[in-house]
Structure 1
Amino acid sequence: MNARTILWTISSSLAALGIAAAAVVTLNLRGEEPLPTAPETVASTPELVARGEYLARVGNCMACHTTQGGAAFAGGRGIETPFGVVHSSNLTPDKAHGIGQWSSAEFWRAMHHGRSRDGRLLYPAFPYPNYTQVTREDSDAIYAYLQSQPAVGEANRPHALRFPYSTQAALAVWRALFFAPGEPVVASLQTAEYNRGAYLVNGLGHCTACHTPRNALGATSDAQAFSGGLIPVQNWYAPALNAAAEAGVKEWPVQDVVALLKTGTAPHGSVMGPMAEVVFRSTQYLTDADARAMAVYLQDLPQHTVELPPATLPADSAMARGAKVYEQQCAQCHGDQGQGQPGAFPPLAGNRAVLLADTTNLVRVVLQGGYLPATAGNPRPHGMPPFRHVLSDEDVAAVATFVRNSWGNRASTVGAIEVYRAKERRGM
């Protein structure tokens, strides 16, 4: 290779890099408007603060921005991701560490564009890919509410992300590929109730953040929205909301969907794991009108058929072992025929959560136990104790296989290796 060829190759490579860099910068600036030059604040009123409090609950802001036993909204909670740990920021009006010096326009830019007050790009562990659909009016109300809270001088903890994910350059590339600022989508042929539900589910409720599969870089796809996904690091499966075989509610009476959102339990199912926390901290506080609007929207989702793997006939030995474990540990609550006890313990016969192709949740519940959220509509829920210190991996696999293949149930078997992996993932 002569010098001219080498020079041409280097020049072409640098030009390509320059074009790519310019494209990344351009894509990261799309939709942004200059911040107001004059100081700008929201005129706070008791009504606006109360509205902001409600909206902050709908968005479940406190769950991430409050450590266990810590001051509300003071940040510092570690959010584990496949790329390292992101620590939530201080949202109190402290001027040194919180948002005390932020204007409502700067707060809106964080919500809508995922950009901090100083212009830094924010990590999407803060779900701005969903919050970008929140209106400016609602953003201002949340801002007014947060500014009304006690200031807490809690310094923000640095993130603990691996290289190169810790760099702004890598984040800029991610945003160029997977993020564009949006706005509420109003379906002209739908009712106001449907559009309100769409706004809550897709925006502040950020339901797709869990109920949609993520690619290797942690991004969701609109084409796969609501089709279910394994929650990274937490290792709970958020079932599909658009499939009757998983967590679809199209055929439910609308009042049962409302009950599930507001109490955590309904005649057709109940919530556990991460969704129990969502109901406890967020959806139980929905107004009846907003809960109904969300139900109407979720029932109207285009439905998909889940392709289940062929169920092989379980070995007689596994069924016998599982039957023995079930009789000793489970039948007292769930019944000899898996019928459950209405208002107390869910039936296992025909239970969608039991029959999911992904057995993660079933194994996790047997190992860790499961507890419904305490809500105003169900203040003293029943729970299931953990069995990880009582049952061996083989016993857990056997009883899971038994309940998936008894009383008319038919699903794939569960192996001890699946139980071991579930324990390994969570350090049990």
Structure 2
Amino acid sequence: MKRKSLFALSAVVVVAAAALVPVLWSGGDNLHNGSAMAATPADQAELIKKGEYLARAGDCIACHTVRGGKQFAGGLPMATPFGTMFTPNITPDDQYGIGKWTQDDFYRAMHTGRSKDGSLLYPGFPFTSYTKVTRADSDAIYAFLRSVPPVNVPSRPHELKFPFNQRNMLIGWRTLFFREGEFKPDPTKSVEWNRGAYLIEGLGHCGMCHTSINAMGGPVNSAAFAGGLIPLQNWYAPSLTSNREAGLGDWDLKDIADLLKTGVSNRGAVFGPMAEVVHNSLQYMSDEDINAMATYLKTIPQKSEAPEPLQLETSEKFGGELLKQGAKIYADNCAKCHAENGLGMPPSFPPLANNQSIQMPSAVNPIRMVLNGGYPPSTEANPHPYGMPPFAQSLSNTEVAAVVTYIRMSWGNHGTAVSPQQVSDLRSAPLD
């Protein structure tokens, strides 16, 4: 077995929260550019409704609500290699929340990554994406957050190691990786395409997971959307620019839309962090917006692939032995749902044959699925999804490596053999 030195993924404090959504806002009177704005109750109700929808699009609740806790009260720990970040209270509480922020303060945080007092925000808050959000949409989100019940709970300070607890270090990071500016429509593209681009690149901040991170914690912009390991979550966000992974160029628009809206489609299902995105956010999006996102995703051009994470390789002989062992394990444990020929019974049981997510250079996701099992998200259109049982207790590291090797190399799939050491490394990985 040899170690293949490819890319040492280093997640900086800033990236540890690859899903850190909208945040550090605050209330205040209905002000805009310092002048009072008259609004009827009906107008305000409509604005709040729009803001709620946009907050869903940004998946704010995922990071700012602890499981079982008060909505938007923050406190969710984000472990990083440099310490732990805690998401802030963004309810309209005057003492601990955003109750004293104006619309201008809120927009400044979204657009420039600066807090009410002008201090720099850590890029765990995805202002590099939110800078694209329009002022009108920012104001709507602000109005919605002003409408939620205030929670009098202090935001817990970050626990970061020196020198990462020095915010002035962010000046250099911002110079390298942040470009301020609202989204500019492409006049050569359709209205639908531009709407999809706005949602994917802005509020959706999809690039935070689907783009690799360099040693400074900044995105590898030359390989945008080309995939990457999500720091400390040990899930791989596949490339959206390559049909070898999750590139969608040969997918029907309906299959893309179904996957985004319900978590399952005839081409596959989502698990892990993406299942949470569908559950918390995408299932609530309108059909028009989902179709717009699908339209944009289908046209993302081929780009340079992301640097590959550290990968363990097996010898050809050992890989052949794993393949033979995996055939029996598959027949005994997997064929009932996924079929002997690997075609499955979609959308309930996704196909494994010709499934890009199975064949990617990174075998992280199929290994984790065999070990931990999982469910696609429960959505209104698919309230009782079929799930996969975990096999961590019944299969050894070698047996898991064998069955994953088998599905990666059978039925015309072009994946490579999986090392038992890879399985061992992921067996203790966090489930969230």
TM-score by length of 2: 0.86
SS in 1 for 2:56: helix
Q: Which residue in the other structure is 2:375 paired with?
A: 371
Q: 1:37 Cα deviation (Å)?
A: 8.7
Q: 1:380 to 1:259 in 2, by over 3 A?
A: same
* 103-112 vs 302-311, greater mean Cα deviation: 302-311
Q: Which residue in the other structure is 1:323 paired with?
A: 327
Q: Which residue in the other structure is 2:261 paired with?
A: 262
SS in 1 for 2:84: strand
Q: Which residue in the other structure is 2:95 paired with?
A: 96
- Asked if 1 retains the 8 angstrom alpha-carbon contact of 2:401 and 2:420, the reply is yes
Q: 1:38 to 1:320 in 2, by over 3 A?
A: closer
User: 1:230-249 residue pairs with structure 2 within 5 A?
Assistant: 230-249=229-248
Q: Which of the residues 336, 343, 346 maps onto 2:350?
A: 346
SS in 2 for 1:383: coil
The answer on 1:394 being equivalent to 2:375 is no
Q: 1:278 Cα deviation (Å)?
A: 0.4
- Asked if 1 retains the 8 angstrom alpha-carbon contact of 2:260 and 2:283, the reply is yes
The answer on 1:414 being equivalent to 2:418 is yes
Q: 1:229 to 1:70 in 2, by over 3 A?
A: same
SS in 1 for 2:70: coil
* Whole-angstrom CA distance in 1 between matches of 2:246 and 2:38: 40
- Asked if 2 retains the 8 angstrom alpha-carbon contact of 1:64 and 1:88, the reply is yes
User: 1:218-237 residue pairs with structure 2 within 5 A?
Assistant: 218-237=217-236
Q: Deviations over 1:47-71 (max 9, x none)?
A: 0000000000000001010001011
Q: Which residue in the other structure is 1:332 paired with?
A: 336
User: 1:11-410 residue pairs with structure 2 within 5 A?
Assistant: 38=34, 43=39, 45-304=44-303, 312=316, 315-410=319-414
* Whole-angstrom CA distance in 2 between matches of 1:41 and 1:221: 42
* Whole-angstrom CA distance in 1 between matches of 2:222 and 2:161: 29
Larger relative contact order, structure 1 or 2 (CA cutoff 8 Å, min sep 6): 2
* Whole-angstrom CA distance in 2 between matches of 1:210 and 1:254: 22
- Asked if 2 retains the 8 angstrom alpha-carbon contact of 1:106 and 1:116, the reply is yes
> What is the aligned residue count?
394
Let me know the Cα RMSD of the aligned residues. Answer: 2.3
Q: 1:427 to 1:380 in 2, by over 3 A?
A: closer
Q: 1:135 is matched by which residue type in structure 2? A: T
Q: 1:254 is matched by which residue type in structure 2? A: L
Q: 1:41 to 1:62 in 2, by over 3 A?
A: farther
Q: Deviations over 1:370-408 (max 9, x none)?
A: 210011111110011111111111111111111112222
SS in 2 for 1:384: coil
* Whole-angstrom CA distance in 1 between matches of 2:38 and 2:288: 27
Q: 1:118 Cα deviation (Å)?
A: 1.6
- Asked if 1 retains the 8 angstrom alpha-carbon contact of 2:92 and 2:145, the reply is yes
| Percent identity over paired residues | 48
- Asked if 2 retains the 8 angstrom alpha-carbon contact of 1:212 and 1:220, the reply is yes
SS in 2 for 1:337: coil
Q: 1:321 to 1:241 in 2, by over 3 A?
A: same
* Whole-angstrom CA distance in 2 between matches of 1:319 and 1:107: 55
* Whole-angstrom CA distance in 2 between matches of 1:40 and 1:245: 54
Q: Which residue in the other structure is 1:5 paired with?
A: none
* 267-276 vs 417-426, greater mean Cα deviation: 417-426
Question: Over alpha carbons, which structure has the higher Rg?
Answer: 1
- Asked if 1 retains the 8 angstrom alpha-carbon contact of 2:130 and 2:203, the reply is yes
- Asked if 2 retains the 8 angstrom alpha-carbon contact of 1:202 and 1:208, the reply is yes
* Whole-angstrom CA distance in 2 between matches of 1:427 and 1:49: 35
* Whole-angstrom CA distance in 1 between matches of 2:318 and 2:264: 31
Q: 1:315 to 1:36 in 2, by over 3 A?
A: closer
Q: Deviations over 1:274-323 (max 9, x none)?
A: 00000001111111111111111111111247699999576443223212
SS in 1 for 2:203: coil
Q: Deviations over 1:403-427 (max 9, x none)?
A: 1122222321001111111124439
Q: 2:196 is matched by which residue type in structure 1? A: G
Runs of 5+ consecutive residues of structure 1 not aligned to the other structure = 1-34
Q: 1:339 is matched by which residue type in structure 2? A: L
* Whole-angstrom CA distance in 1 between matches of 2:174 and 2:304: 31
Runs of 5+ consecutive residues of structure 2 not aligned to the other structure = 1-30
Q: Which residue in the other structure is 2:12 paired with?
A: none
* Whole-angstrom CA distance in 1 between matches of 2:70 and 2:319: 53
